[in-house]
Amino acid sequence: MATKNQMIRRAVLLSAALASMATGGVMPASGAEPTPPGPTTARPSGSGQPGEPSGASSGASTGATGASSGKETAPQQSTTPSGQATPGAPDSSSSSTTPTPPTTPDSSGSPSTPPDAPSGTASDAPGTPPSPSDPRALPDPAAPDAPLDPRAPGAPGVPGGPPSLVTGDPRDFGAQIFRGNAFDTCQAPSVSTMRAWKGASPFGAVGVYIGGRGRACPKQKHLSPAWVAAVHKQGWKLLPVYVGSQSPCVIAKNKRKVRMSGKDPYGQGRREGQDAVRQARKLGMAQHSAVYLDMEAYRYKNKKCADTTLRFVQGWNSAVRAQGYVAGFYSSANSGIAHLEKARAAGARGLPTAVWFARWRVRPSVNGERNLNPKAWQPHRRIHQHTGNKKRTYGGRTVSVDHNLVDAPVAIIK
């Protein structure tokens, strides 16, 4: 029979065992009540505190600053009103006991992506990110830049893969489109003449020669930021034209003094493309504006000359796009336009986003040019100059102009 002391000892041991079982095998500290695990304190793995972004969303927002301008900008996702959920962050109105639902796959079987997720950034050239100090590039998906190496695919005479038709709506990457009649003239008319012509003439847009060493009227009497702002307020759309270096085999004698160099035409084109954008900016033409390179008629069947000219155009287009502008190209339908169509069909890269072709004394049509594939440079990528050097009088003011039918990008005025 157990003694009284043995019975007391057994009771103490039994009490200790029962306490150990109640606390999961750990003896509670003196005076502390153990708190059993339960749903009121459990939190889904990986979720943050209510009102705070999760690790994934906070990481995305830290990369959304504007490197191009050098100052901090808002993330690419739009700011949501107070009380509404922000994409990628937990709903602050939800109970902490509610786990975040898993990502739902879309019909392809891949996790669905929020529609406002930031897209990838463009490059100045294939494989090269833009400099942080430069404006963000404006790529045309249908007209990728030509390679820096003249022997690489996409350079003149070196096929770059299947030909691109250079198609797609330019408004998809920020361009503004004008459809209608336009005139261009060597000297920008006065503000009062533009006012007299607005409404009285059939024109809604005007081509203005903003720069370039080949410009026939380098001393513009009226063209200035104030002029641009005034005619824009009147309702005019603008087609900026840059007359840079001309082809080595340019036909017009008065343009031969500004022929491009055959040593580094791509580099020369880039420098002049940068200048074209500078001139546009000075006049108050914002990013996503079109700028058209004027290349007067040349003997494109001369292969060496054609290759040099195309390299210049490719460099010019690359520089214009790298600064956030839309690269256009003006020339005779039977020379520069026929040349670019031939290059396009051969797989050349670095082509313009829009083409402005001169063919006079025919019915105005942006779609009927015989030297262009009817499916190429579509939609909203063509201008037809169909009449030239005609004196027209509207509102009592007479100006010598060329006539154009437009369905293409124009300048965007700040």
335-364, pLDDT tens digit by residue?
999 999 999 999 999 999 999 999 999 999
Cα separation, 333 vs 336, in Å, equals: 6
Of 48-62, 154-168, 272-286, 324-338, the one with minimum mean pLDDT is: 48-62
User: Of 5-9, 111-115, 245-249, which one has max mean pLDDT?
Assistant: 245-249
Give 119-134 pLDDT, tens digit per residue: 222 222 333 333 334 4
Flag whether pLDDT at 57 surpasses 60: no
Cα separation, 120 vs 358, in Å, equals: 38
Q: How many residues does the chain have?
A: 414
Side chain identity, residue 355 = V
Query: pLDDT band for position 200 (50/70/90)?
Result: very high
Helix (H, G, I), strand (E, B), or coil: what is residue 226?
helix
Write the DSSP assignment of 137-152 as a string of letters: P---TTSPPPPSSTTS
Side chain identity, residue 388 = G
What is residue 159's predicted lDDT score, i.e. its pLDDT?
76
Record the tokens describing residue 150, joined without a space: 């003249």
Domains of the chain: 170-410 (3.20.20.80)
355 backbone dihedrals φ, ψ, rounded to 5°? -120, 140
Side chain identity, residue 256 = R
Closest to 82 (Cα-Cα) out of 51, 38, 49: 51
Query: pLDDT band for position 136 (50/70/90)?
Result: low
Q: Which residues pair with 250 in a beta bridge?
A: 298
Per-residue DSSP letter, 80? P
Per-residue DSSP letter, 90? -
Cα separation, 50 vs 298, in Å, equals: 68
Flag whether pLDDT at 52 surpasses 60: no
Side chain identity, residue 167 = T
pTM of the model: 0.69
What is residue 88's predicted lDDT score, i.e. its pLDDT?
31
Record the tokens describing residue 403, joined without a space: 């006539």
Record the tokens describing residue 275, joined without a space: 């200048």
User: What's the rounded mean pLDDT across residues 286-307?
Assistant: 98
What is residue 151's predicted lDDT score, i.e. its pLDDT?
83
Flag whether pLDDT at 109 surpasses 50: no
Q: Which residue has the higher pLDDT, 161 or 5?
A: 161
Of 68-82, 226-240, 368-382, the one with minimum mean pLDDT is: 68-82
Side chain identity, residue 376 = A
Flag whether pLDDT at 264 surpasses 50: yes
Cβ atoms 331, 357 nearer than 8 A: yes
Give 177-191 pLDDT, tens digit per residue: 999 999 999 999 999
Cα separation, 83 vs 42, in Å, equals: 25
Give the residue ranges of DSSP H helices in 4-133: 4-22, 55-62
Angle subtended by helix axes 303-322 and 265-282, to nearest 10: 40
User: What's the rounded mean pLDDT across residues 137-145?
Assistant: 87
